[in-house]
Amino acid sequence: MRIILASPEAKVWSARKHIPLGLGYLAAVLREGGHDVIIFDAAVEDVGIDYYLDLAEAEGYPYNMIGVTATTPLIGDAWEMVELCKRRGLITVLGGPHLTIMPLESLQAPHDAYVDYVFKGEAEYSFLELVNLLEAGKEPGVIPGINFKRGGEILSSPESPMIPDLDALPFPAHDLFKIDRYTNLQPLTDGLDRHARSFTILTSRGCPYKCTFCSKPVTGDTWRARSVESVVQEWKWLVNGLGATEIGVTDDIWNLKLPRAKELCRRLVEEGLNHVPWVTVHGMKVNHTDLELFQLMKAAGCKRVGFGVENGDENMLRNVIRKGQTLDQVREAFKQAKAAGLQTMGFFIFGMPGDTEETMEKTIQLALELDPNLANFMLAAPFPGTVMYDQIMEGGEVFAENWTDFAIHEQKSRFTMHDGQYDPELVIKKWREAYRRFYLYRPERVWEKMMFKENWTNLPNTFAQIKRFFIGSKDQTEAIGSSPQKQKVTA
Ligand code: B12
Ligand code: SF4
């Protein structure tokens, strides 16, 4: 079959573009199965998907199927994309994190008019099974994780157990990405490089922790690691075969097992792969680190590490966020990473249920004390399927007109709690204060920012950032509290 795997353009605010790696995995498996696949990532394309459909038709070899991936904020764009493709006669399939949480929504009116199949969970094997069946002219029956409509009825099959042996999967089809259209992975001292050859790699899937804000519908609670050897072979392909200039490790928790993490670093050095800088995109877990690990990471080419710090209040950390780490462990990890010569980045969340002026102040104080090269202050976003979402549904209310409002970069208040304590207006105030106190009021950080070439060569973007983080917009404050046009998104 001829298949387009597509990702809609993330219209949520972020200047950075990363490869949709899940599609890379699906493409690799389909390709191995003998199918003809391209990846269309609307975030980096100059043309619409019609262009490729027209081209293929003109060649007399049209696409048969489109498979679109979607996170929660992007589901609306995914629906638009499959609707267009349905009109062009393609079989339409949806998958990804949002579909794993809410598979049936996309098979209800009006979406059932243009969505044929929806997959839950990791779909490498199950999607291939569907494609093979359809190519053979057969009707799909029980395929793990599949949902579809027949005779007005929705048929759903239970999800397959998560893929136990990740080494058995082929490497993602990295070669199908238009890699020079993706940006580098994180800010810090190198600004934004619009033509970086930045690849991402998954060394493991899943995480046994259960932080209450975290949504990991696809990869789950069971940590499954690839062998160090398999990871090193993929790394080698990225560096030597595809000319990677930066690599991002995007595991949920790549350092769960310290000896394995250290072994990977040693092997990168042995293989001479340490000249290409790499970063931990989504943060490491502070309580699975030691000085030796950071030293080995540095030797292996790691440039910077991010840590999920979340909150500066011990009680919030332990009992509300259930992060499974202490503030002392946070302090120790930052100290050791810096001692090893790594740049650091901290992720902090404002406005979890239970956050007060005092706890948010503690969070700001902790950020100032840790003094990472970069602090990322985020507003709590209640994704369906999280403990936090359930808590809000029980004792509060979500403000959202549609799923787009759940975008993390959409910096506005998304919910309130009816406990007489929670104040969404205060949350926005403290969040903005955090940015001001961390970046604006400290000359060394202002200086660091001024050193980013991008901040001068792309002034509209710089002003947009200043407005967003330090000044705010009418929309940000309007979204607070009792805005009448905001309704509850129903799960
Ligand atoms: C790397 C990453 C990013 C990167 C790259 C994103 C990208 N372009 O792929 C960056 C930093 C850019 C990013 C951005 C965002 N991310 Co992100 N990200 C991740 C992370 C850590 C890993 C993703 C990954 O590679 N997974 C591994 C692969 C194998 O899994 P997968 O992509 O889900 O694909 C599998 C299945 O879902 C399925 N599948 C996927 N697509 C399709 C399509 C079809 C047709 C089929 C049949 C099956 C199928 O099969 C795939 C193979 O098994 C996950 C956490 C996680 N563990 O999933 C969060 C995660 C997906 N991100 C999340 C969010 C919220 C976002 C943002 C919306 C944040 C924001 N700005 O608001 C943006 C949206 C960007 C976007 N394009 O959607 C949430 C999603 C929650 C939700 N309910 O949707 C997650 C789960 C993190 C979390 N714990 O909250 N993200
Ligand atoms: S936030 Fe990180 S540590 Fe917590 S559950 Fe999610 S992936 Fe695991």
pLDDT at position 190: 58
Q: Does residue 285 have its Cβ closer than 6 Å to ligand 2? A: yes
pLDDT at 377 over 80: yes
Q: Does residue 355 have its Cβ closer than 6 Å to ligand 2? A: no
pLDDT at position 9: 86
Q: Spell out the domains of the chain, with CATH numbers in brackets.
A: 2-156 (3.40.50.280), 183-488 (3.80.30.20)
pLDDT at 309 over 70: yes
What is the average per-residue pLDDT within 135-145? Answer: 93
Nearest Cα neighbor of 127 from 159, 101, 153 is 159
Mean pLDDT of the chain: 89
pLDDT at position 484: 30
Residue 307 contacts residue 345 (beta carbons within 8 Å): yes
Which stretch of 150-159, 351-360, 438-447 has the lowest confidence by average pLDDT?
438-447
pTM for the full model?
A: 0.92
What is the average per-residue pLDDT within 431-453? Answer: 78
Expressed in angstroms and rounded, the spacing between residue 71 Cα and the centre of ligand 1 is 6
Q: Whose CA is nearest to atom 3 of ligand 2?
A: 209
pLDDT at position 318: 96
Least distant ligand from the CA of 93: 1
Distances (CA, A) of 470 to 144, 425, 477, 478: 47, 15, 13, 16
pLDDT at position 413: 78
Q: Does residue 252 have its Cβ closer than 6 Å to ligand 2? A: yes
Expressed in angstroms and rounded, the spacing between residue 99 Cα and the centre of ligand 1 is 11
Q: Residues 254, 258, 260, 265: is their CA dihedral positive or negative?
A: positive
pLDDT at position 487: 34
Ligand 1 pocket: which residues have CB below 6 Å?
7, 10, 12, 14, 18, 20-22, 25-26, 67-69, 71-74, 93-98, 101, 119, 122-124, 127, 202, 214-216, 218-219, 250, 252, 282, 383, 407-409
Residue 448: pLDDT band with limits 50, 70, 90 = low
Work out whether strand 415-417 and strand 396-398 pair parallel, antiparallel, or are unpaired: antiparallel
Expressed in angstroms and rounded, the spacing between residue 135 Cα and the centre of ligand 2 is 39
Calculate the dihedral angle through the C-alpha atoms of 26, 28, 32, 33, rounding to the nearest 10 degrees: 20
Expressed in angstroms and rounded, the spacing between residue 219 Cα and the centre of ligand 1 is 10
pLDDT at position 196: 86
pLDDT at position 457: 60
pLDDT at position 466: 61
Least distant ligand from the CA of 309: 2
Joined tokens for residue 344: 């650091």
Expressed in angstroms and rounded, the spacing between residue 404 Cα and the centre of ligand 1 is 15
Expressed in angstroms and rounded, the spacing between residue 126 Cα and the centre of ligand 1 is 18
Query: What's the pLDDT tens digit per position in 74-119?
Result: 999 999 999 999 999 999 999 999 999 999 999 999 999 999 999 9
What is the average per-residue pLDDT within 307-333? Answer: 97
Residue 170 contacts residue 28 (beta carbons within 8 Å): yes
Q: Does residue 214 have its Cβ closer than 6 Å to ligand 2? A: yes
pLDDT at position 410: 60
Query: What's the pLDDT tens digit per position in 210-264?
Result: 999 998 889 999 999 999 999 999 999 999 999 999 999 999 999 999 999 999 9
Residue 2 contacts residue 85 (beta carbons within 8 Å): no
Expressed in angstroms and rounded, the spacing between residue 120 Cα and the centre of ligand 2 is 20
